[in-house]
Amino acid sequence: MPVAIPEVMRFRQRTGADRFDEMWEGVLHMAPSPTFRHRSRASRILAFFVDVWAPRTGGAAVMQINVSTAERWDQDYRIPDVAVMLPDRMPRGEAMFVQPTVVFEIRSPGDETYEKLHFYAAVGVDALVVVERDSNAAQVFARSGENFVLVPPSAESWTLIAPVGVELQAEPEGAGAVLHLRLQGEPETARAI
């Protein structure tokens, strides 16, 4: 939506529908509210980082926050499902945007997840994890310059999210998969997501 119609914007603000809107180089992208399954997966990912990862690292993880830079945050931002920050990436004081270490995107059929990769690389996100909403299949991408490259799983089928020292595994189950997260090399910290 290159021109935001004031009546539409007021309605979206009044009803809370605007909380998932993103601004892409001055163009408004109005996404619908996620499904229950989508939000549930994101909540479980967040819980792992808050309960298991953050106490060990001093980092933080949050849901639905603007990702951008100081120079462009009001005209160019994306809102991932989960943003994970090491201590050096955590904002000081009240902030309207963050530059996370890792972002998680739960991908729904037909959404714009893969169109966000270049943006996340450009603002300094070190890794991106894409989780398919319906199958729970997952891909880990590591930043390489201004692009992302796919990280292959190990021989044991765990994929390392290196910047935060977390491993991910999508274990096949029925028509989908069960996603597991754990601290690198610490099987006792594994959680099914």
For residue 103, what is the domain's CATH number?
3.90.1570.10
pLDDT at 98: 92
19 and 78 part of one domain: no
147 and 188 part of one domain: yes
183 and 155 part of one domain: yes
Listed in sequence order, the residues at least 6 apart from 169 whose beta carbon sits closer than 8 Å to its beta carbon are 153, 157, 158, 159, 179, 180
Q: How far apart are CA 81 and CA 177, in angstroms?
A: 19
2 and 47 part of one domain: no
136 and 181 part of one domain: yes
58 and 127 part of one domain: yes
26 and 38 part of one domain: no
| Structural domain of 29 | 1-33
109 and 159 part of one domain: yes
12 and 55 part of one domain: no
81 and 24 part of one domain: no
4 and 99 part of one domain: no
pLDDT at 13: 63
- Low-confidence spans in the chain with pLDDT less than 70: 1-34, 174-176
28 and 121 part of one domain: no
CB of 160 within 8 A of CB of 186?
Answer: no
Q: How far apart are CA 170 and CA 166, in angstroms?
A: 14
Count CB-CB contacts under 10 A for residue 102: 29
Q: What's the number of domains the chain is made of? A: 2
pLDDT at 167: 97
pLDDT at 2: 47
